[in-house]
Structure 1
Amino acid sequence: MKPIRVAIPVSIVVALALGGCAVVPPSGPSVVALPRSGEPLNQFQQDDYTCRDYAFHSTDASGAAQSATANGVNSAALGTIGGAAVGALIGAATGNPAAGAAIGAGGGLLVGSSAGANGAQASAMGMQARYDAAYAQCMTSKGNTISQPPMAGYAPQPVYVAPPPRYVAPPPVIMYAPYPRY
């Protein structure tokens, strides 16, 4: 029996699965800053640059991104190890622990990496919120105004109200009298 070479495809799958766990620090604010009336554009741009720098340093975005990425990778690794262990136990019960471990490791990698990616996305959203808050505070302290875009929401489903039932009386039944017998 020939050994199966799966080293290249497995490494590609692992790299793609763990790539979803990477967290990128915020690249800028998601709020709109408006200059105070009469402020020259150069002054507003300088305030914007200063406040972006302040927000980046006050949220420690690079450290938080590295921490969130490490948590995502750890989640995928733990999922792989746990899946392999459970798969080996199930495989041992059926008589083939190696195949069970391999299948369990693959399933654990998928579940662990999806959990890691979900946690990474939540971390990225939290970092963006902290960045926006620091940026907005800085811009407001310099006299500028902040306009936040409306939150995306869903309109409630329209309520369908059926019209009241109409009862129509059946047409009258005309009974003809039988012909008189003579």
Structure 2
Amino acid sequence: MSKHQQRYIAFLFSVLLAGCVTAPAGPHVAVMPAKGKTLEQFKTDDHACKAYAQAQIGDDLEKNSAMNTLMDMAIGGAVGALGGQAIGHNTKSTMAGVGIGMAAGLATGAYQANKASDDAQIRYDNAYQECMHTKGHGQN
């Protein structure tokens, strides 16, 4: 497999993995409408607080995850190549090490992507609840 093919495969894996990171689509917490507010007021506040929460987590979640995955794969591939060369002292061992290292880097990236999604959801929920609370909701 040529270096060009390896880079292409690494790029494809990182793009696929970036799809594993999902920005929150909405809150995972329930907030009750404030007493005395209409449903329309609640919906308006809900919409504004969702926008506020999204702004707090940022829009670069997927991009950052893809870059982190590429870095993990590159480091894993380099370490694997060094290990393969040290063990086998030939090109075949080096290439096997690269493959193993890149796979380990991809697995690390997948774990980090999952953690990033979870962390983003927690930050989103906290920001959403804070916003709705300041508007009087959730305290019945």
Shorter-chain TM range is 0.7 to 0.9
Q: Which is helix-richer, 1 or 2?
A: 2
Q: For residues 74 and 8 of structure 1, do their structure 2 counterparts lie closer, same or farther at Cα, with a shift above 3 Å needed?
A: closer
Is the 8 Å Cα contact of residues 77 and 100 (structure 2) preserved in structure 1?
yes
Query: In the alignment, is residue 132 of structure 1 matched against residue 128 of structure 2?
Result: no
Q: CA deviation at 1:8?
A: 6.4
Larger Cα Rg: Structure 1 or Structure 2? 1
1:89 aligns with 2:86: yes
2:32 to 31, 34, 40: 34
Aligned to 1:57: 55
1:160 corresponds to which residue?
none
Q: Are residue 117 (structure 1) and residue 124 (structure 2) matched?
A: no
> Please, what is the CA RMSD of the aligned residues?
2.6
Structure 1 runs of 4+ with >3 Å offset: 7-14
More contact order relative to length (CA 8 Å, sep ≥ 6): 2
Residue in 2 that maps onto 1:179: none
Counterpart contact for 2:53–2:125, Cα < 8 Å: yes
Q: Contact 2:10–2:73 at 8 Å: present in 1 too?
A: no
Q: Which residue of 1 aligns with 2:73?
A: 76
Deviations 1:22-67 (A, max 9, x none): 533222111112212343221111111100111111222x134432
Report the Cα offset of residue 16 of structure 1: 3.3
Preserved contact between residue 76 and residue 105 of structure 2 (Cα < 8 Å): yes
Q: 1:176: which partner in 2?
A: none
Asked if residue 105 in structure 1 is aligned to residue 102 in structure 2, the reply is no
C-alpha separation between the residues in 2 aligned to 1:68 and 1:56?
17
- Counterpart CA distance in 2 for 1:16 and 1:69 is 9
The CA distance in 1 between the partners of 2:14 and 2:68, in whole Å, is 14
1:134-160 CA deviation, whole Å, 9 max, x = no partner? 0000011111118xxxxxxxxxxxxxx
**Equivalent pairs: percent with the same residue?**
30
Question: Secondary structure in 2 aligned to 1:46?
Answer: helix
Count of residue correspondences: 138
Is contact 1:21-1:73 (8 Å) kept? Answer: no
Task: Name the TM-score, length of structure 2 as normaliser.
Answer: 0.82
Any gaps of 5 or more consecutive residues in structure 2? Answer: none
The SS at the match of 2:60 is helix
Residues 18 and 113 of structure 1 are in contact (CA less than 8 Å); yes or no, is this contact kept in structure 2? no
Q: TM-score if structure 1 supplies the norm length?
A: 0.65
